[in-house]
Structure 1
Amino acid sequence: MFHSEESKQQLNPLLPGYSFNLYLVAGTTPIIENGPLDFTIDRPHGMKGYIINMTVRGEGRIFDGTDAFDCKPGDILLFSPDTPHYYGRAPGSPDWYHRWVYFRPRGYWANWLKWPNQTRGVGRLRLPDPTLVTEFDELFQQIDRTHRGARRTSEELAINLLERLLIRAFEETPENLPTPLDPRIQATCQFIAKNLAEDVSLDDIARHVCLSPSRLAHLFREQMGMNILRWREDQRITLAKQLLLSTRTPVSTVAGKVGYDDQLYFSRVFRKRVGVSPSGFRKASEEARHPYGELHLHSQGEHIQAMVAGEDARR
């Protein structure tokens, strides 16, 4: 009897031989000591897509030798394409239950798939909070239930849930968490903002926050990603744009209000940062708010009044 290649394929993704031809497959692997799934997955060349998994019970052992590491409940792993797969139940653990999703990513997911903590191409994320563990566990289960659904859009809906899972993993990666701003840097920013029109020196600012100028400069760049002069210039230009948009204050006065005594120098800085002169910026903003111009609006109003008068005369 003839058997097609498709019929010969292993249809159980938990057993060797499954082709993983789909764009998304999900499930839970319950590995129990001496059970039918208690073997080591060994794929030296990895797979074409990604696999993300989360341990929910017991422990798993990834790799062997000096690269080996164990994963425990709350640990999430991301296997990149072509990354060697070598994993199974950790010795000494009676079981290892892990939820998993195999997927082919969308192009714009690239940044969410660059996990900083990696061992031989396998990214690792440990969830420290039981609440987070529950949240991610539910997401894995939702993806599994959804992709098995009978709806015509089941795969697309599951991919949307997977996108949410990857975004949440990105958010919870320690390297991506927002770093609390040092109180001295907060005080520095507040001091500069209050004295934006003044030409305060680095020494003045350092004295105000009780730091040496060199230490302040280093700490500010480390926390803000730019030096103090650049940050102050950003604030000055932002304030200048607000004044130009919301007031009829002359450009020379605006320059003084944001800390530039020389109007020509202010205009050069503004043009360099915004791409247009201060007066050009104001003019373009006004035209955007009144695309037909005041004269046109006035004549349009007169035209409407004339039409109304004509209607009154004919009544």
Structure 2
Amino acid sequence: MYQTWMRFFSPGPAHHRLGLVCLGVGLQHGALPTVGPRTLDHHVAVVISAGGGWYRGADGRRTTVTAPALLWLTPGVPHHYAPDPDTGWDEGFVDFAGPATETYTELGYIEPERPVVPLSDPSGPRAVVARIARAARRGNPLLEVETGAAVHELLVALRRARADLAPDGDQVLQALARDACTPMSVADHARVHGMTPTELRSAVRRAAGCSPKDYLLGIRLTRAKELLAATELPVAAVARRVGYDDPAYFSRLFTRRVGLAPVRFRAQQGRSVPGGWSDRVPDPDDPPMIHSPDSAEARPGEPIG
């Protein structure tokens, strides 16, 4: 015996221009029927949270599937799969398409070459699938946009749940982020980790979908923006704080990447912050507050900036 619930959608051209559209969602469990052999023209993420079975792809090899796991079904790739007939499995699936799938594949969030991906914890992806299912109620005027936005969330949740990555992020990326603003080359970072530059590039590409240089640059520019917006440090001092001894080179790099020169960015985003700038992540249960100089009482709910 098995149980199945599913809905399918037909988003219009304008929704496709948002980048991702959800084409369908389903929740199933039990000894489900065999799927395929078949070939699709869109993507499907099948999140298996309990049970096990098998998958066979274009190469004809049969791979054992043990929950928690993800099946990536990608366009144009023949596939064939089923849960174990005795134990079945518990799955949630989302069909999706759109031009953003190419970028997500480039960044490593979608992995066509890995149709079976072990997951460390399926609860995050399953929660997103459940939200899509709730949004699929008939008569929801926000259906296409709400479910399309949730596909973006699903891809992030699946990336975070991959069993080959540490729960709090790849350790190499954490170390790179910690040392990003020191004046070190990619080769220097590789030596710190006991890796060759090629090994470091492979590790960062797999974990972050970009080169070490781009990963470090993103962190440096983010920090530079914070310093430009929240302090009155000269641009040269900001450049040194984020690892660049040559302020002219920093300014050219910032302008090329951000689209504004550092002084223009400061003119647009700079502000005086009563009580000082905080880099603490806001807590919804403890909102930032401004203390009025004329009153000892805080005024809850006012943003600090």
Which residue of 2 is the match for residue 98 of structure 1? 91
Unpaired segments ≥5 residues, structure 1: 1-13, 194-200, 207-212, 259-264, 290-315
CA shift, 1:175, in A, is 6.0
Which residue of 2 is the match for residue 25 of structure 1? 24
Residue 163 in 1 paired to residue 162 in 2?
no
Which residue of 1 is the match for residue 40 of structure 2? 47
Determine which structure has the larger strand proportion and give its number: 2
User: Following the alignment from structure 1 to structure 2, what is the Cα–Cα distance between the partners of residues 214 and 60?
Assistant: 40
- Structure 1: which amino acid aligns with 2:90? Y
- Structure 2: which amino acid aligns with 1:22? S
User: Following the alignment from structure 1 to structure 2, what is the Cα–Cα distance between the partners of residues 155 and 182?
Assistant: 35
User: Following the alignment from structure 1 to structure 2, what is the Cα–Cα distance between the partners of residues 187 and 162?
Assistant: 31
Unpaired segments ≥5 residues, structure 2: 12-22, 205-210, 270-305
Residue 147 in 1 paired to residue 136 in 2?
yes
SS of equivalent residue, structure 1 residue 138: helix
SS of equivalent residue, structure 1 residue 59: strand
Which residue of 2 is the match for residue 58 of structure 1? 51
User: Following the alignment from structure 1 to structure 2, what is the Cα–Cα distance between the partners of residues 125 and 285?
Assistant: 42
SS of equivalent residue, structure 2 residue 140: coil
Which residue of 1 is the match for residue 171 of structure 2? 180
CA shift, 1:66, in A, is 6.1
Equivalent residue runs for 1:181-260 within 5 Å: 215-216=191-192, 219=195, 222=200, 225=212, 246=232
User: Following the alignment from structure 2 to structure 1, what is the Cα–Cα distance between the partners of residues 145 and 179?
Assistant: 49
CA distance 1:68–1:215, change in 2 (3 Å)? same
Q: 1:127 aligns with which of 104, 108, 119?
A: 119
Which residue of 1 is the match for residue 67 of structure 2? 73
CA offsets per residue over residues 84-109 of structure 1, 9 Å max, x none? 12111236x43233221222x23234
Contact 2:120–2:161 (CA under 8 A) maintained in structure 1: no
SS of equivalent residue, structure 1 residue 22: coil
CA offsets per residue over residues 118-137 of structure 1, 9 Å max, x none? 57x553332223xxx23322
User: Following the alignment from structure 1 to structure 2, what is the Cα–Cα distance between the partners of residues 175 and 100?
Assistant: 22
User: Following the alignment from structure 1 to structure 2, what is the Cα–Cα distance between the partners of residues 79 and 135?
Assistant: 20
User: Following the alignment from structure 1 to structure 2, what is the Cα–Cα distance between the partners of residues 61 and 100?
Assistant: 16
- Structure 2: which amino acid aligns with 1:58? G
CA distance 1:84–1:218, change in 2 (3 Å)? same
User: Following the alignment from structure 1 to structure 2, what is the Cα–Cα distance between the partners of residues 172 and 137?
Assistant: 11
Greater RCO structure (CA 8 Å; 6+ sep): 2
User: Following the alignment from structure 1 to structure 2, what is the Cα–Cα distance between the partners of residues 151 and 286?
Assistant: 42
Determine which structure has the larger helix proportion and give its number: 1
User: Following the alignment from structure 1 to structure 2, what is the Cα–Cα distance between the partners of residues 271 and 163?
Assistant: 33
User: Following the alignment from structure 1 to structure 2, what is the Cα–Cα distance between the partners of residues 287 and 141?
Assistant: 44
CA offsets per residue over residues 241-274 of structure 1, 9 Å max, x none? 97xx9468xx9xx69x96xxxxxx9576567646
CA offsets per residue over residues 258-312 of structure 1, 9 Å max, x none? 6xxxxxx957656764679xxxx798789879xxxxxxxxxxxxxxxxxxxxxxx
CA shift, 1:188, in A, is 7.7
User: Following the alignment from structure 2 to structure 1, what is the Cα–Cα distance between the partners of residues 262 and 145?
Assistant: 47
User: Following the alignment from structure 2 to structure 1, what is the Cα–Cα distance between the partners of residues 265 and 144?
Assistant: 46
For the pair shown, the structure with the greater C-alpha radius of gyration is 1
CA shift, 1:214, in A, is 9.8
- Structure 2: which amino acid aligns with 1:150? G
CA shift, 1:70, in A, is 2.3
CA shift, 1:51, in A, is 1.3
CA shift, 1:186, in A, is 9.2
CA shift, 1:63, in A, is 0.9
TM-score for both structures, normalised by structure 1: 0.49
User: Following the alignment from structure 1 to structure 2, what is the Cα–Cα distance between the partners of residues 26 and 52?
Assistant: 10
Residue 110 in 1 paired to residue 96 in 2?
no
CA shift, 1:82, in A, is 1.6
User: Following the alignment from structure 1 to structure 2, what is the Cα–Cα distance between the partners of residues 66 and 59?
Assistant: 19
* Percent of pairs with identical residues: 13
